[in-house]
Structure 1
Amino acid sequence: MGATKSRSFRRRIGGNATPMRSYRPVLRGIKLLSSRSKSSEGGGRRTIKVGIDQHGLNPLQLTPMALLQWAVDHGAEGVQFSGFDSDWQRRMEVPYLKDLRAFAESKRLYLEWGGAEHIPRDMTTWAHRDLFASNQLVAAQAERLGSGVVRSCSGGLMRWNDAAPSTETLLRDTASALMAQRDMLRDHGVVLAIELHFEFTTHELLRLFEMCEAIPGDWLGVVFDTMNVLTMLEDPVRATDRILPWVVATHIKDGGIRVVPDGLETFPTAVGDGVIALVSVIRRLASSGRQVHLSVEDHGGTFHLQTKAPEFLAKFPDVTDDEMADLEALAMRATRSAKCIPTDRALWPEICEERMGRNLTRLKALVAELEVA
């Protein structure tokens, strides 16, 4: 793929056909930080690496190599890739993967791969799908990259969609599909990490892992999204405690929650502008004894939760009065904060680069304070 390395492919990652561009830094006043951790060079205590998730920068239409360069230029210490559409997957040949790995290793970046799925259903028709071949492809790619993690995401499934099969049905389907992939994932030496998205709560993922006869650190794990759990009516700190042994990767995303006439509304914010107890979450992750990287994710938009409707709350059978009280307390804090406000999704392409750079700077400063303490 010699010529491939120097040109921009005419396909946007995970989207419609548009020109992709190579990265040229747009700094806009963001202070650059060294991507190398000083304390990691001399050994000793394990340091926490702070990187980025691909999703927040999707509007820039960066090639995978350009995304790694953006990470270096902005002081990120690694990249978690969200996944690629079918056209891009065909371009992920062995030479290109080798180049990505060599670049990452030369810059001491962690790599976490994406593109796996765990719900064996078409998200529009709900027809059954076989995920084995596609997951085997991304597992093999992760192995070539030297990445032990493959992120799995359910896509656009929202738990409260009445057209979707029941949660119990999806749990059974998912367990059956994943059990068939266990040996394959072990053979490639990767953990399939299910993102805490909008289909399963931490309670249900624990049940899923039991159904799969899995143990932490083997072939299944979790991408812990600090803000998505709010949308699933889980307090982020409580959710961390429940699922901690299974966390192998993260989406560190601050956010808010506020009361609306028929329930609650959740939304991401810049790091430090929301009400999520990121310090408490990160302390717990650091105490796990495992190397869990902190990958910043961010985006615009809001999520509307009709919690005053009994039929909506019935879809969350594990939520307790105590945890709802915690969420209501967070909503009161958010209401009192002038900074804890949502971002219009339509504006995200204009601000994504500045905001992701700001998130990195703030999160690295927060982690540095924790490491000193």
Structure 2
Amino acid sequence: MRVGLSMFGTTYAMGLHPRSGRTPMTAEAVIAWALGANLQGVELPDSTLAAADIPAIARMTQERGLYVTVACGGYDPVKLGEACRLAAACGAPIVRTVAGGARIGGDRRNMAGRWDAFLQEVRDGLAAAVRTAEREGVSIALENHQDLASEELIWLCESIGSPNFGLTLDTGNPLATAEEPVDFARRIAPYLKNVHLKDYWIYPSEEGYRLVRCPIGQGVVDFPALMAIFRELGPAELPMSIEIGALEARHIRVLADDYWPDYPERSARQLAEVLRFAAANSKPASDWRTPHEREASPGEVAAYERAQLRSSIAYMQSLIAEAESDNAEEAVS
């Protein structure tokens, strides 16, 4: 397992957010930043990579032993095919993508009555794209992007049935589809190819709960338990990119009647599990807004992002070092 950096958790600092007032960082600059932070890889948007010197990126990362993951979006086979060719050219084994459809926060109201047809469309597009991935020798890894539930992700993997198709686990996003993160990870582990490391604070609301970004290790996600699952069930070379949550809180309306109609059927036990989890880990009522939501200056928001990123890196590096030490002791004993 190797820990790296995704640009999407620090959009002001990276110049990706339109309000940041900054020029977007180049692929070379992001790689240099990751090296300076003693990280082992980067996940880069396809648009960022397309503007770079691809042979130079391939040399830089291979010489330093860094992994590269290409971040794309959607299920259009033409666009994903281009991303697969880009990944192959720069030595990236994985193209991460998202399906969409639902609004962020697991909200499917905009797709009422159309969700099953949408899923079939996603499946057909991804299956066509996977044929290109197979030719290029790369894999497509679909993320749980606060849209698809574990049941649907597993169905897609089984339906497509290719070793070049699997999943990106975002460790915080299961809560947006009313699922407990560790249980979600265990369910999808046989198809795991890529990880986004994310944590959340939970604030209760009248309709459910809000997910608010926080440094990794300070929120509700049990990362030691996840690492154990990854070691037991995940691939040997598992890229894990730190991607702190969005600057806008996510409202998960699990107590609202209109949240559920297009979801897979869930048992009372499953719902009780996530509600117990949310209740046990909720923070007291307070101002949950991020500096971005409070309309702080771009400089203040960027500083806030960098501080959370530094804390997250330190936590993950400590956790990995501890796990490696434990494994070494077990091997000797």
Q: Name the TM-score class by shorter chain.
A: 0.7 to 0.9
Mapped partners of 2:315, 2:285: distance in 1:
18
Alignment of 1:1-150 (within 5 A): 48-59=1-12, 60-61=14-15, 62-84=25-47, 91-92=51-52, 96-118=53-75, 131-150=76-95
Deviation of 1:367 after TM superposition, in Å, equals: 1.4
- Percent identical among aligned pairs is 20
* Counterpart check, 1:240 vs 2:185: yes
Question: Deviation digits for residues 235-265 of structure 1, max 9, x if unmatched?
Answer: 0111011100111101111113332112222
Count residues with an aligned counterpart: 305
Mapped partners of 2:101, 2:130: distance in 1:
25
Question: 1:181 maps to what in 2?
Answer: 129
Deviation of 1:294 after TM superposition, in Å, equals: 1.7
Deviation of 1:89 after TM superposition, in Å, equals: 6.6
Please, what TM-score do these two structures have when normalized by structure 2? 0.84
Question: 2:266 maps to what in 1?
Answer: 319
Instruction: Assess if the C-alpha contact under 8 Å between 1:75 and 1:360 holds in 2.
Output: no
* Counterpart check, 1:199 vs 2:159: no
2:239 pairs with one of 293, 296, 300: 293
Question: 1:357 maps to what in 2?
Answer: 310
Instruction: Assess if the C-alpha contact under 8 Å between 1:116 and 1:138 holds in 2.
Output: no
Q: Comparing both structures, which one devotes a greater share of its residues to helix?
A: 2
Question: 1:276 maps to what in 2?
Answer: 221
Question: 2:202 maps to what in 1?
Answer: 257
Instruction: Assess if the C-alpha contact under 8 Å between 1:139 and 1:150 holds in 2.
Output: yes
Please, what TM-score do these two structures have when normalized by structure 1? 0.75
Q: Which runs of 4+ in 1 moved over 6 A?
A: 337-340
Mapped partners of 1:156, 1:207: distance in 2:
17
Amino acid across the alignment from 1:296: I
Amino acid across the alignment from 2:324: E
Mapped partners of 2:61, 2:127: distance in 1:
32
Mapped partners of 1:340, 1:319: distance in 2:
32
Structure 1 residues 254-263 or 241-250, which shifts more? 254-263
Instruction: Assess if the C-alpha contact under 8 Å between 1:258 and 1:332 holds in 2.
Output: no
- Superposition CA RMSD, Å: 2.4
Mapped partners of 1:173, 1:167: distance in 2:
10
Deviation of 1:82 after TM superposition, in Å, equals: 3.6
Instruction: Assess if the C-alpha contact under 8 Å between 1:263 and 1:307 holds in 2.
Output: yes
Structure 1: 5+ residue stretches without partners: 1-47, 119-130
C-alpha change, 1:340 and 1:75, in structure 2 (3 Å) is: farther
C-alpha change, 1:330 and 1:268, in structure 2 (3 Å) is: farther
Mapped partners of 1:338, 1:270: distance in 2:
19
Question: 2:330 maps to what in 1?
Answer: none
* Counterpart check, 1:167 vs 2:112: no
Instruction: Assess if the C-alpha contact under 8 Å between 2:169 and 2:196 holds in 1.
Output: yes
Mapped partners of 1:336, 1:200: distance in 2:
26
Secondary structure of the corresponding residue to residue 265 of structure 1: strand
Mapped partners of 1:239, 1:354: distance in 2:
29
Instruction: Assess if the C-alpha contact under 8 Å between 1:273 and 1:340 holds in 2.
Output: no
Structure 2: 5+ residue stretches without partners: 16-24, 327-333
